[in-house]
Amino acid sequence: MKQVNVGMVGYKFMGKAHSHAYRDLHMFFPQAVRPVMKLICGRDAEGVAQAAEQFGWEGHVTDWREMVARDDIDLIDINAPSDAHKEIALAAAKAGKHIFCEKPLALTLPDAREMLQAAEQAGIKHMVGFNYRFAPAVMLAKKLIEEGRLGQIYHFRAWFLQDWIIDPDFPLVWRLQKEIAGSGSHGDLGAHLIDLAHYLIGGMDEVIGMSDTFIKERPLPTTMTGLSAKGSKDAPRGPVTVDDATLFLARFQNGALGSFEATRFAAGHRCTNSFEINGSKGSVKFDFERLNELQVYFTDDAGDVQGFRRVLATDPAHAYSEAWWPPGHTIGYEHTFIHEVVELMQAVEQNRQPVPNFVDGVRCQEVLEAVDRSIEQRSWVRIAGV
Ligand code: SOE
């Protein structure tokens, strides 16, 4: 059986999600090429050793260059903070390693383009971590659109709402620093919505946005794990240099109209990643907090029973579902990462690019950039011009 030896940089939130995917994949997708958890990398020797042991990696290092230089590593998985993506990806491509990189692909559009160019020149496989595409209910929405069952698409409206930094004394973690994260809610949450829009509806022609940073200064943190951080509200404060919320409107190439809202200040919303699509023959609604479900409405249902109904996307008719449990036995967040890695392994085996790849990462970054420019200029910005 073919296998792919993985070296992974980063071991916190996404590092755990990816490790879990590599570890579980073969139990449910035995026919896929098998990822082997060779090496994990992190700057803190003690932390990475502990993660290696806990997640099941064969070895650990503190310098990613060592990992990239090793002949027995086939794939570099980058889930370190965004400012590290480019340097590691360029080195990995140069060394001929396949790359799986978390979103957003880079801090800036030029950086993302440079990463794509390097990957294409090296002839490696490249993937970007837009995991929500891999929820079977989202894939069902895609199928309904592709088969014309929603008719002509008029509206795509999406919102990704969180509230984990709503406390003004929540510390100034790396996700709130532009030089490390690139942007705030825009690149962290909006990037997912943009990718879903590209996947489901297609390209955008032009955008116009608005954004704000509600809390301008925060106490410096002591530690961060996942999305929680420890610190004292009396600690010295530093400036928040990213957006807390970004909203924008878009006109799609196929004529549909889009609206997008990404915020970390929606009290009560822990991770509400939702979209609704309205077409001439029907509508669909998705909410990540109920990720097994797609609400569907068809205009040609008999008038006396018209209304949204809930489809549980856990039947063999739904993507990836046959590999899991019997119908009705639901799956969770972590399964979206497993599906991602299945796609990556299949792409390596079939010698094709996985989807979504760096081309999709760049397309997303173009929209992020265009929205930023529109906010600066207070006017519509065409995607083709960025
Ligand atoms: C934090 O806002 C976060 O974990 C994002 O970084 C992820 O990409 C998103 O899927 C969930 O929220």
pLDDT tens-digit series, residues 288-301: 999 999 999 999 99
Give CA–CA dist 42/52, Å, rounded.
10
The residues pairing with 208 across neighbouring beta strands, listed in sequence order, are: 249
pLDDT tens-digit map of 79-90: 999 999 999 999
Give the nearest ligand 1 atom to 132 CA. 10
Pocket test for ligand 1, best of 82, 130, 227 (most atoms within 8 A of CB): 227
- The pLDDT value given to residue 363: 98
Q: CB of 367 within 8 A of CB of 347?
A: no
What average pLDDT does range 55-84 have in this prediction? Answer: 97
**Assigned superfamily of 3-132:** NAD(P)-binding Rossmann-like Domain (3.40.50.720)
Q: What's the 191 CA to ligand 1 centre distance in angstroms?
A: 10
Between the two ends of the chain, the Cα-to-Cα distance in Å is 45
Give CA–CA dist 206/192, Å, rounded.
18
Look up the ipTM and state it: 0.96
Give CA–CA dist 19/318, Å, rounded.
25
> In whole angstroms, how large is the CA radius of gyration of the chain?
21
Does the structure show a pLDDT above 90 at 224?
no
Q: Report the pocket of ligand 1 as residue ranges, CB < 6 Å.
A: 162, 188-189, 192, 227, 271
Q: What's the 362 CA to ligand 1 centre distance in angstroms?
A: 19
Residues with Cβ within 8 Å of residue 287, at least 6 apart in sequence: 272, 273, 274, 293
Give the nearest ligand 1 atom to 103 CA. 8
What average pLDDT does range 199-227 have in this prediction? Answer: 92
Cα–chain center distance at 268: 22
Distances in Å between the Cα of 8 and the Cα atoms of 51, 75, 83, 173, 275 are: 11, 8, 16, 22, 32
Q: What residues does CATH 3.40.50.720 cover in the chain?
A: 3-132
Give the pair of three-digit tokens for residue 355: 């989807």
Does the structure show a pLDDT above 70 at 1?
no
Give the pair of three-digit tokens for residue 280: 């001439």
What average pLDDT does range 236-240 have in this prediction? Answer: 95
Nearest one of 159, 175, 171 to 14, comparing CA atoms: 175
Give CA–CA dist 330/274, Å, rounded.
18
Tell me phi and psi for residue 33, to 5 degrees: -55, 140
Percent of the chain with pLDDT over 70: 99
Give CA–CA dist 113/132, Å, rounded.
23
Q: What's the 273 CA to ligand 1 centre distance in angstroms?
A: 10
pLDDT tens-digit map of 135-181: 999 999 999 999 999 999 999 999 999 999 999 999 999 999 999 99
Helix, strand or coil, per DSSP, at residue 334: helix
Residues with Cβ within 8 Å of residue 337, at least 6 apart in sequence: 17, 18, 20, 21, 131, 134
What residue owns the CA closest to ligand 1's atom 8?
188
In this structure, CATH architecture of domain 133-353+364-377: 2-Layer Sandwich (3.30)
Pocket test for ligand 1, best of 189, 195, 289, 368 (most atoms within 8 A of CB): 189
- The pLDDT value given to residue 59: 98
User: Ramachandran region of residue 320, left (φ > 0), alpha (ψ -120 to 50) or beta?
Assistant: left
By CB atoms closer than 10 A (0-12, 13-18, 19+), residue 297 is: middle
Does the structure show a pLDDT above 80 at 361?
yes
Give the pair of three-digit tokens for residue 47: 């932390």
Residue type, 95: A
- The pLDDT value given to residue 223: 75
Q: What residues does CATH 3.30.360.10 cover in the chain?
A: 133-353+364-377
- The pLDDT value given to residue 340: 98
- The pLDDT value given to residue 231: 77
Tell me phi and psi for residue 354, to 5 degrees: -70, 160
What residue owns the CA closest to ligand 1's atom 10?
189
DSSP letter for each residue of 202-256: --EEEEEEEEE-S--EEEPEEEEETTEEEE-TTSPEEE--S-SEEEEEEEETTS-
pTM of the entire predicted model: 0.97
Percent of the chain with pLDDT over 90: 96
Nearest one of 317, 354, 355, 320 to 335, comparing CA atoms: 320
What average pLDDT does range 226-241 have in this prediction? Answer: 86
Nearest one of 130, 199, 127, 136 to 345, comparing CA atoms: 127
Give CA–CA dist 235/47, Å, rounded.
25
